[in-house]
Amino acid sequence: MYTDGEITIRPVRDEDMERLWELLYREENPEWKKWDAPYFTHRTMPLDRFLEKRDEWVNSDDGWVIEANGIVIGTVTYYYEDEMKNWLEMGIGIYDPEWWGGGSGSKALRLWMDHLFSTLPLVRVGLTTWSGNERMVRVAEKLGMKMEARIRNVRFYNNHYYDSIRMGILREEWEQLP
d(CA 93, CA 74): 5
Say if CB 28 and CB 44 are below 8 A apart: yes
What is the DSSP code string of 64-86? EEEEETTEEEEEEEEEEEEGGGT
Cα separation, 52 vs 175, whole angstroms: 40
Domains of the chain plus CATH, in order, are 2-176 (3.40.630.30)
- pLDDT tens-digit profile of 26-85? 999 999 999 999 999 999 999 999 999 999 999 999 999 999 999 999 999 999 999 888
Say what the pTM is: 0.93
What single DSSP character describes residue 79?
E
Alpha-carbon distances, residue 28 vs 101, 157, 158 (angstroms): 23, 17, 17
